[in-house]
Amino acid sequence: MNIAFIGLGNMGAPMAANLIKAGHAVTGFDTHAKPDGMTMADSAAAAASGADVVITMLPNGAILSSVAAEIHAAMKPGAVHLDCSTVDVDSARNVAQAAEDAGLLAIDAPVSGGIGGATNGTLTFMAGGSQEAFDICKPLFDIMGQKVVHCGPAGNGQAAKICNNMILGVTMIATCEAFNLADRLGLDRQAMFDVVSTSSGSSWSMNAYCPAPGIGPTSPADNDYKPGFAADLMLKDLTLAQAAAKSADADTPLGEAARALYDQFVNREDGAGRDFSAMLPRFSARKRG
């Protein structure tokens, strides 16, 4: 396919590189990054012109909406706008409707797996859009990731992403709180892990991404909490989840508590630029209340 890739940051650049390695022609555009070996366009519209699929990986819904207005006017009829950004559900649905109004196909497919998954082609995609758009993009998902789930109509990919990451944020906080309590009760961290990882308290946060250094599989905790998934990005996703909860009139008190705590950690403590599992040393340094 002829592919345009708009947004070549830490995630977009390796995703585009994997498409090039697989033999696709990729034209890129980014206001900041210019990856080596990629054909670059002078504008988003120029990149999108003539492409079969235009992939966007952008920071937020406002930027996505602005870029979509530019590229939709330049895309050929029947082309697909594949958005892999993590944005609010309403923006995703509005962009999909704008694409449909312009005679295009659209699918929102945010990702899970971080920079490592983008580099290694092992991302998970959560896709929302028509079956026709999904079928066209499926070979690209298979190159850039190891799993894709078609979650339903436009916006449902974003819905799946924020629901998943709300669970992740809550469980990471609970895991870090429990390790801190174990420390203060004199329970060895390895013993704590051995019990919880094989008992009813097990979770991905404990078993695969343990926040305690030297315990379980290697994780950012073993690299001074340099981010695999930054606390700043967890705050973004939890904020999106709460915006969606308000829009849908859904009661999510633990999701809001997690958002508030990550907001405090990132904006008023030392969490900015650290992994989201750095909540453990944050709790370890504090006393009750």
Tens digits of residue pLDDT in 178-202 = 999 999 999 999 999 999 999 999 9
Which pair of structure tokens corresponds to residue 14? 């390796």
Are 63 and 91 in contact by the 8 Å Cβ rule? The answer is no
Domains and CATH numbers, the chain: 2-153 (3.40.50.720), 159-285 (1.10.1040.10)
Tens digits of residue pLDDT in 112-144 = 988 889 999 999 999 999 999 999 999 999 999
Tens digits of residue pLDDT in 202-232 = 999 999 999 999 999 999 999 999 998 999 9
> Quick one: residue 48, left, alpha or beta (phi over 0 = left, psi -120 to 50 = alpha)?
alpha
The set of catalytic residues is 161
Q: How many CB atoms lie within 10 A of CB 39?
A: 12
